[in-house]
Amino acid sequence: MNARQAFAKRLRSRTPVIGTFVKLRDPAVIEMLGGLGFDFVIIDAEHAPFDRESIACATLAARAANLAALVRIPDAGGHWMSTALDSGAAGIVVPQVRTAAMAEQLVQKFSYRDGVRGFSPSTAAAGYGARGIAAHLEAQTEETVLICQIEDRSAVLEADRIAATDGVDGLLVGPVDLAVSERLTDPGTPEIVAMGEQVMSAARRPGVSGGMFVGDPSAISRWSDCGATLFVLGTDQSFLQQSARAGLSAARQALI
């Protein structure tokens, strides 16, 4: 069982998994995160400068590190989805999914069978032809997941129906986007927390995982109690800044 298959199985069985966003394009970052024991990374092509080539390099690093790599695509266009999955991504994270109708369209673009996704047996995901057509068709169903981000009030209200869409494997709450959409700047306000709880409740169904972005590891326990099983802990940038800030502070303190 490869890392993609193992991750998909854990996500669909609602086994807790912990990952982080990757915004730095150096593939060594992903290799290091894999060595640390993260369950997955999300390559952020929405808010970081990842193109087709850099996505391919990033997913190659993930495979080398035996780490599942999801890709957050910048829009719902099918070409981005195909690029990421063909390169060997373990799944797709789609921002700003507001309705069940949009979720159904995404499933169509995500799927070979009963869908509209173009097929090639010669991609990195297919072992560059080694799998063969039938084996790759079967494997892609087992080793790739579709996660919808819930990032405004309309999506929260529709979360039950999005989660019930056949082919959707998870809902991921973006608390900062939720706050901004409500004209707030603090994602920890009771109103935003309540929305997150509503989404976690919607995701409590077989085969669907509720996910939450958390900047502070201490928040994981609280969201786990609400039913979350997919946790995105910070970003590679935040880890770099936190460590550098602490080291610099300690160094300056030593000179006093």
Tell how many helices (H) and how many strands (E) occur in the chain. Answer: 12, 8
Q: What is the residue-level pLDDT of the chain in tens, covering all 256 positions?
A: 899 999 999 999 999 999 999 999 999 999 999 999 999 999 999 999 999 999 999 999 999 999 999 999 998 888 899 999 999 999 999 999 999 999 999 999 999 877 789 999 999 999 999 999 999 988 888 999 999 999 999 999 999 999 999 999 999 999 999 999 999 999 999 999 999 999 999 999 888 999 999 999 999 999 999 999 999 999 999 999 999 999 999 999 999 8
**Total domains present in the chain:** 1
Question: Which two structure tokens, joined as six digits, stand for 54?
Answer: 């850099």
Residue 95 is classified by DSSP as S
Long-range CB contacts (within 8 A, 24+) of 219-225: 220/18, 223/196, 224/16
Cα torsion through 27, 172, 6, 30, rounded to 10: 10
Side-chain-side CA neighbours of residue 122 (13 Å) = 0
In order, the DSSP letters of 53-86 are HHHHHHHHHHHHTT-EEEEE-SSS-HHHHHHHHH
For strands 170-173 and 91-94, give the pairing.
Answer: unpaired
Q: Which domain holds residue 76?
A: 3-254
CATH (domain of 226): 3.20.20.60
pTM assigned to the model: 0.95
